[in-house]
Structure formats: structure tokens, C-alpha cells
Amino acid sequence: MCRPPSPPPNTATAFYRLDEQIGFLLRKANQRHLTIFAEAIPEVTPRQFAALARLLEMGPLSQNRLGRETAMDAATIKGVIGRLQARDLVTTEPDPADRRRLTVDLTASGRGFIEACLTRGRAVTEKTLEPLSSSEARQLLALIEKLT
């Protein structure tokens, strides 16, 4: 199949190439990661997994704090918690110190589920980073952490 010739580069395209932009490259890497995640852990979304993993790591948290700890805004974490609660993976209770605040905790089934998924979660990370050497993977993670 014949392709039309590419237009000659102009000043704008010489200055800005999409394939060199951090946001574009991060989005492509994230899309790859999300595909790997969905194949390995189809039972939950990455955001749901993050909430469950953080609760396992830190114990009960206020809904607001859980959102901050998982980099989700208030509306997003509320939806995530609602869906996890509907599946009996988390519970919510009013905070005894401040009844306006909800405390989120894992249920027994939620704890069992996330503990059983941790190995698959680690494998997702390893597969996402597979094209890199171990040194490159450590360097990439350190650099991304520096950006956040």
C-alpha cells in the first residue's frame, strides 16, 4: 500500500514532537501496565487493588486519608470504597472521634483476597518492567518517585 509522502517538517513540529513528551510516554507505559494488570488480576481495578493494598499495609484509615494515600480525589475514592463495600471487601464505620468522618477497613474476605493477590500484584510490576534490566528498573522507579 502506498503512503502519501510525509509533509516536510516545519518549525512547530521540529520544536514539539509528541513521541518525546513525558506525559505521552507515561500514558503509553501506563496503558501497557493496565493491560498486564487486567490479565493478571481481573477481579478488581487497579484503583480498587491500591485501596485494598494500602489498607492491608496501614490498617483502618479515614476515607479521606485513604484517598490521599492512594493518590485518588475524594469523589474517586468514594466510588472505589462503595464498589469494594458492595463486594464485602471493606467496611465503613463512623469514626468514634469524629462522627462526620468514615473509617474504612478490610473485611475478613477483603484481607484474604488482597493477601492472595499480592504475588500476582508483584508479578504485574515485574512484567511491566520486563523490557528493562534490573538496574534500569530500579533507576526508573527512583526517577518516577522523584517526580511524585
Task: Check residue 18 and give its pLDDT.
Answer: 92
Q: Which residue, among 65, 53, 74, has the nearest Cα to 103 in the 3D structure?
A: 65
What pLDDT shows up at residue 8?
Answer: 65
Q: Which stretches in the chain have pLDDT values below 70?
A: 1-2, 4-13
**Residue 103: beta bridge partners?**
62, 93
C-alpha cell of 53? Answer: 493494598
The separation between the first and the last C-alpha atoms of the chain, rounded to the nearest angstrom, is 45
pLDDT at 96: 80
125, 144 contact by CB (below 8 A): no
Query: Which pTM value belongs to this model?
Result: 0.86
Residue 7 has a pLDDT of 63
Q: How many CB atoms lie within 10 A of CB 130?
A: 9
pLDDT of residue 42: 97
pLDDT at 100: 83
pLDDT of residue 10: 65
Per DSSP, the three-state class of 61 is strand
